[in-house]
Structure formats: C-alpha cells, structure tokens
A and B are shown apart, each in its own frame.
Chain A
Amino acid sequence: MASKRKPYIRETRADWWKKNAHYRFYMLREGTAVFTIWVSLLFFILLVSPASFTRLTGNPLVIVINIAALAASILHSKTWFELTPRALTLAADKTANLTRLLWGAAIGFTILVLILSFI
C-alpha cells in the first residue's frame, strides 16, 4: 500500500523571537553587542584623535547613547556572570562562589578604573 504520509513543515518566520518573553530577552541580551561596537568606536577615536574624543563626549546626544551603553554593558555582564558558571563543569556550590567572584572582580575593576581616571 502506498504511504499516506504527508508531513506538514511549519515555517519559521522572521518574527519568531516575538513569540515569548524568553526569546525577547535573548534578543535584548544579544543586542547589547551593538553598544559594544559603539564603545569600541569611541576608544578608537580616543586613540586616533584625543581632541575630537573630548569634543564628541560633550555632545548631549552622545551622553544619552553612553548612558544606554552603560546600561547595556551592565545587563550584558549580569547575564554573562550567570551563564559562565554553567559552561564550566563545576559542582553547584562552586558555581555560586564563581558568580560572586565574577561580580567582585567586575566591581573592583570598575572602582580601580574610576580612581585611576581621577588621578
């Protein structure tokens, strides 16, 4: 007897990520990369021409973008610190310690950079 099979394949549309909160947050998390490009560009300008860097960072629009970039990088760090321990073969108790260690290192490094920039 001939097969009556006719599997129906559902299409994945470009808006698949709008379907649930987890996917939307994933897109937000990955979207923080755009701000990383922006910050890299700023550093590049600082290296090439410090004078235009100073002029640029005084621009109100740039300040707004920089605040958004700061928020994006904090979100990126938070999710990264949560995901990193899972990527390592560690026991559960060590995982919690590693997350704390990463947060400590990030906060410590931020304070160090702030102190250095005011000297």
Chain B
Amino acid sequence: MTENGKMTLRIQRYNPEKDDEPHYEAYEIPWNAQTTLLDGLKYIKDNQDPDLSFRSSCRMAVCGSCGVMINGVPKLACKAFLRAYPLGASIEPMANFPVEKDLVVDLTDFLEYIQALKPYILGNARKPEDGPNRQTPEELARYYKFSLCINCGLCYAACPQFAMNAAFAGPGAVTLAHRYNLDSRDQGRSERLKLLNSKHGVWGCTFVGYCSEVCPTRVDPAAALQQCKAQSALHFAASVLDCAKNKEACHGEQT
C-alpha cells in the first residue's frame, strides 16, 4: 500500500487526574486511501502517545464502540476514512455525554434508559415446545429497520434535546422500545408506554431529525420517535375514555 503522505489530527485530550478542562493536541500521522480514523488513533497510541484513550472493538461498524465527533459530526471512527479529510480533521469525544478521559465518554444515561424501557419480548407465554413463533414478512417489515441499532450512541451526540436535558430518554433507547412495541410477538407495549409517555419520554423530541442523518446503520430513530408519539397520544386518549367509563377505578388510582 502506498502512502498518500501525512495529515494532522487535532485530538481533544482530557486527563481527569491532571486537567480541569479539555485541550487539543496535534498528531501527524501517515495515511492512504484505506486508512480509517480508528487506524489513525491506533497508530498514535502505538507510536506517538500511549496515553491516548479511546474505545474500539470490532473495527467493522458492528459493535458501536468507537463513536467520536469528526469536525463536529458524530461518526464511528472505524467507518470514517481519512481520505475524506485530506486537510486533516479535528477529533472530539461524542457530544452531549460527560467526558471521562480523552475520547472516552460516560454512556450511563443512554444505557440506563435502554434497561428501563425493556427492549425484549414481554408477556408472551409461548414455550419452546410450542415451536417457532412465526411472523409474516409484513409483520417483520414493520420493525425490521429499528432492530438494526448497534447502541453506538451517535444519535445522542446528534440530539440537541438530549444536550439540554440529559434526563430525556433520547433517540436510541426509544427506538429500541418502539421496535418491540411494533413486534407482533410482544405484549409489553402498555408497560413501556408508561415511561415513554412520562415527562422525560418521547415528547421531549422536537423532530430535529439529525439523529437519523448520523445513524451508521440507517435505523431512522427520528421516525421511531414520531411513531411512538402517535402511539402515546392514542394510549392517552384511550386512558381518558377508559376513565370516563370507569370513574371509580380511575379515582381510586389517583388517590
């Protein structure tokens, strides 16, 4: 492989043991048409600065570990080729998350919401003896796109609502919940809607839509959120009607 020469990466560094705030350091690295940003970061760690911290694992856009901001745009380091940045690039940790060290962020807010929204099949009493739980191609098509999420968190780095309110459930977790709400084998929709309808649920979204643009697997989380809003509104209307019909039960619940 021939080298195309050198390029400069400006990387945001932050050492919690020494620094009060992040600063940039410049690194000159060799690159060619096949070099990804992750290759570049590994080159720096191996040859120039062993202290540089970043997350990575599969190096093929499957695991979702290596999200960073390249010139302010959330991307997976393994999926971003340096040939797109011949003049060099500025690398920062994923926006909107607290920075632990260098390019490593704390994803707790996102991960806790995934757990709270129960993205797995609920309320299905089938046993293995009952055989496969079949779905029609149409039933699969309803949620398939939303099942491609790799939990990388780039959608959170793209979300201004999450930036302003870290308690917002956010695009990724809501999309995963919605994926199961749409699944014909699942019965957990009303359980998930409790959180989705809550103060920090889907209604925090204003359809900025940047999450869908940066998603490396084209999941379209913005669409999932809007669909979820429709479900949430119907659920609310149904609960109001239910209350009107069954006053005693509703008042009992409130007190």
Contacts and interface: CB of A to CB of B under 8 A. Distances in A.
B182 interface: yes
Interface in B46-76: 72-73
Given A26-B208, A83-B207, A87-B223, A7 B106 contact: yes
Contacts of B226: 83, 86-87
A4 B222 CA distance: 37
Nearest to A17: B160
Contacts of B95: 10
Contacts of A17: 160
A23 B230 contact: no
B87 interface: no
Interface residues of B, number: 33
Given A8-B22, A22-B209, A91-B141, A16 B230 contact: no
A87 B106 contact: no
Given A9-B98, A12-B160, A22-B209, A89 B227 contact: yes
A61 interface: no
Contacts of B163: 12, 16
A23 B207 contact: no
A55 interface: no
Determine which residue in A5, A7, A30, A83 has the highest number of CB atoms from chain B within 10 A of its CB, and name it: A7
Contacts of B222: 86
Nearest to A5: B16
Given A23-B208, A26-B209, 7 more contacts: A4-B17, A7-B99, A10-B96, A12-B160, A20-B210, A23-B210, A26-B208
